[in-house]
């Protein structure tokens, strides 16, 4: 991407752009966050199960060495012993390995989950092109990763140096300690270094995750023209939408021209709503709403009623209730029977008919 392109991409990515990006490839993960969570869980697991694991491995080794004198070594027995040891050691290490695997999966989900994409399965020859590889190594992202690695090494090195310096007096006395004491001391120092390092790494991982997310969104930024074009594609061409609205309106108006002349009365409120009501005692159990409209459509209905000598009656309450409660082509509800009956009786009386 050229500098000009970068400067022109000033708009935040739309939801559609983010979704398309996730389909092509999952959002980038913070390697620091993944490694820190995995390391922390590993150390907690070792601290919790370390004694059990060490005791089990000691007993397993003792049993192995103790039984060597009673077994005739042949290819078959050696193979059997090796299989038993693999199973025994695997059973001891399984809880630790399982926790490490779970930690890795959890770390991925915390950062945005797993996205399965066929895009990753597509062979891209530029990825195996040596020149493209050199370009990737020389880009800004690679430089940032290298800088982060150097910072981490310096910080971890400083933490380890400070702890070892504070324990220097105890280290000098190791020459007078047996092998078991040395092992305990080294384990204690190692655990202390890792715990302090994890504390620092958690802070660095949070900062790295924030940077990775920010950089991801920066790379997905769009130009104003791209945003406008995407909205146009999503919402539809305004001119086309206008034509569709016009066609729908014309179709509805043609229908009204056929229906309104058959109405017995049009109830208005008087400006916002207009509802056309029809009743045929020989065919209908109750009056029907055959057409209704609000605002501009209400004006059309009233105009058609005047053109076809259909009586207009102003009744604010009844017009609102009919418009809100009854769909076109449905009977009026029982709650409005009396009001509509009085209205029709009034209209029929003016026309000299009986209701």
What are the sequence ranges of the domains in the chain? 3-230, 240-351
Task: Kindly report the pTM of this predicted structure.
Answer: 0.47
Question: Which pLDDT does position 135 carry in this prediction?
Answer: 57
Quote the crossing angle between the two packed helices 31-67 and 75-110, to the nearest 10°. Answer: 160
**Res 119 pLDDT > 60:** no
**Res 4 pLDDT > 60:** no
On the question of a cis peptide bond just before residue 246, with omega within 30 degrees of 0, the verdict is no
**Res 151 pLDDT > 90:** no
Q: pLDDT band for position 122 (50/70/90)?
A: low
Question: What is the tens place of the pLDDT at every residue in 48-80?
Answer: 887 888 888 888 888 777 766 666 667 777 788
What is the arithmetic mean of pLDDT over 12-24? 75
Question: Which pLDDT does position 310 carry in this prediction?
Answer: 92
The lowest-confidence range among 70-79, 190-199, 286-295 is: 70-79
Question: Which pLDDT does position 247 carry in this prediction?
Answer: 83
Answer CATH for 240-351 from 3.40.47.10, 3.40.640.10, 3.20.20.370, 3.40.1690.10: 3.40.1690.10
What is the arithmetic mean of pLDDT over 133-158? 74
Question: Which pLDDT does position 233 carry in this prediction?
Answer: 66
Question: Which pLDDT does position 338 carry in this prediction?
Answer: 92
Question: Which pLDDT does position 173 carry in this prediction?
Answer: 79
**Res 264 pLDDT > 80:** yes
129's CB contacts (< 8 A; 6+ apart) are: none
Q: pLDDT band for position 308 (50/70/90)?
A: very high
In this structure, are residues 310 and 276 in contact, taking their beta carbons and an 8 Å threshold? yes
What is the arithmetic mean of pLDDT over 299-322? 92
What is the arithmetic mean of pLDDT over 38-49? 84
Q: pLDDT band for position 32 (50/70/90)?
A: confident
Distance CA 148, CA 146 (A): 5
Which of 175-189, 228-242, 313-327 tops mean pLDDT?
A: 313-327
Question: Which pLDDT does position 278 carry in this prediction?
Answer: 93
**Res 346 pLDDT > 70:** yes
């Amino acid at each position: 991407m050229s500098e000009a392109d970068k400067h022109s991409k000033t708009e935040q990515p739309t939801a559609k752009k983010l979704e398309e990006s996730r389909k092509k490839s999952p959002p980038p993960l913070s390697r620091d966050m993944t490694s820190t969570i995995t390391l922390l869980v590993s150390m907690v697991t070792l601290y919790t199960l370390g004694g059990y694991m060490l005791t089990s491995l000691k007993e397993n080794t003792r049993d192995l060495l103790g039984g060597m004198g009673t077994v005739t070594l042949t290819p078959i027995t050696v193979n059997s012993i090796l299989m038993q040891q693999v199973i025994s050691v695997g059973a001891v290490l399984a809880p630790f390995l399982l926790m490490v695997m779970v930690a890795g999966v959890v770390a991925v989900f915390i950062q945005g989950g797993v996205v399965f994409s066929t895009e990753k399965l597509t062979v891209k020859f530029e990825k195996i092109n040596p020149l493209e590889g050199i370009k990737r190594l020389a880009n800004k992202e690679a430089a940032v990763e290298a800088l982060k690695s150097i910072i981490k090494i310096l910080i971890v090195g400083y933490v380890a140096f400070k702890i070892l310096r504070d324990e220097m007096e105890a280290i000098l006395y190791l020459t007078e300690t047996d092998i078991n004491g040395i092992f305990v001391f080294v384990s204690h120092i190692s655990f202390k270094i890792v715990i302090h390092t994890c504390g620092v790494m958690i802070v660095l991982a949070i900062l790295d995750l924030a940077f990775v997310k920010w950089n991801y969104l920066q790379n997905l930024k769009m130009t104003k023209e791209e945003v406008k074009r995407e909205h146009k594609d999503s919402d539809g061409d305004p001119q086309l939408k206008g034509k569709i609205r016009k066609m729908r309106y014309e179709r509805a108006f043609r229908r009204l021209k056929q229906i309104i002349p058959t109405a017995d009365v049009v109830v208005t409120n008087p400006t916002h709503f207009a509802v056309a009501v029809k009743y045929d005692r020989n065919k209908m159990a109750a009056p029907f709403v055959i057409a209704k409209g609000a605002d501009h459509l209400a004006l059309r209905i009233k105009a058609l009623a005047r053109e076809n000598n259909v009586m207009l009656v102003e009744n604010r309450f009844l017009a609102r209730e009919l418009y809100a409660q009854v769909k076109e082509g449905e009977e009026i509800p029982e709650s409005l029977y009396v009001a509509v009956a009085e209205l029709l009786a009034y209209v029929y009386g003016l026309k000299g008919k009986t209701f």
